[in-house]
Amino acid sequence: MLNKYARAFFTRVLTPFAAFLIRRGVSPDTVTLIGTAGVVAGALVFYPQGEFFWGTIVITLFVFSDLVDGNMARQLGRSSRWGAFLDSTLDRVADGAIFGGFALWYAGGGDDIALCAVSIFCLASGQVVSYTKARGESIGLPVAVNGLVERAERLVISLVAAGLAGLHAFGVPGIQYLLPVALWIVAVGSLVTLIQRVVTVRRESAEAEAEAEAEADAAGQENASQGSEAAK
């Protein structure tokens, strides 16, 4: 849902900024690299210290680079396989830094081994969810399922909860519990999404193999028929 509606909205909003960067001679790859560096720095500098509000502010400023670089490439008319590969790869780096930052906090000052484990699960499951789609597509399957919690949902749920939880440092009572709840939601949602994609790939694989076998049988029957006609 977020990929379908929110991405389209922010793409329109950020188009003038993307055009401004193009006029200044900035390349899409540069935006991708700077955006990822900003997200990683915000996550790994602030989150392990429990500075969730300021960490989220920094990450939010840079996370929109994921939309800006693609917008720039489209305006320049030079979308490339390399750009798509770089963007996708660095997305995984940014995601790992965010959930790694949560894990470091709960392993240290947060002192909650269960939430540390949940954070690590969110990190790992997010990577695997992305891999299942990429791997399925690489073997020629459409992987025609979006899933319950994709990257956009994981980021929005986690970052909004982290930013609000950070308000506890400013005296807002009880709000710090939003982040643990969000991490559990992301963990369960990622697991459901992983199962959805695995089931989809299994079904599509079986359908593709059945179709290939049917085509092979039809070709065999046609060859046999042609051979019979030639013998006559």
Asked if residue 31 belongs to a known ligand binding site, the reply is yes
130 closest CA partner among 68, 162, 87, 81: 87
Asked if residue 32 belongs to a known ligand binding site, the reply is yes
Spot the catalytic one: 91, 95, 111, 217.
91
Place of tokens 């790859």: 29
Tell me the torsion sign for CA atoms 150, 185, 42, 114.
negative
Asked if residue 78 belongs to a known ligand binding site, the reply is no
Asked if residue 108 belongs to a known ligand binding site, the reply is no
204 contacts 144 by C-beta, under 8 angstroms:
yes
Report which DSSP code applies to 108: T
Report which DSSP code applies to 49: G
Asked if residue 217 belongs to a known ligand binding site, the reply is no
Active site residue 91: yes
Asked if residue 74 belongs to a known ligand binding site, the reply is yes
Question: Would you tell me how many other CB atoms lie within 10 Å of the CB of residue 231?
Answer: 6
Asked if residue 138 belongs to a known ligand binding site, the reply is no
The strand ranges marked E within the chain are none
Asked if residue 23 belongs to a known ligand binding site, the reply is no
Asked if residue 112 belongs to a known ligand binding site, the reply is no
- As a whole number of angstroms, the distance between CA 155 and CA 171 comes to 25
Place of tokens 């509000």: 53
Asked if residue 29 belongs to a known ligand binding site, the reply is yes
Asked if residue 30 belongs to a known ligand binding site, the reply is yes
Counts for the chain of helices (H) and strands (E), in that order: 8, 0
Enumerate the known binding-site residues.
29-32, 66, 69-70, 74, 80, 87, 91
Enumerate the known binding-site residues for Mg(2+).
66, 69, 87, 91
Q: Annotated active-site positions, please? A: 91
Enumerate the known binding-site residues for a CDP-1,2-diacyl-sn-glycerol.
29-32, 70, 74, 80
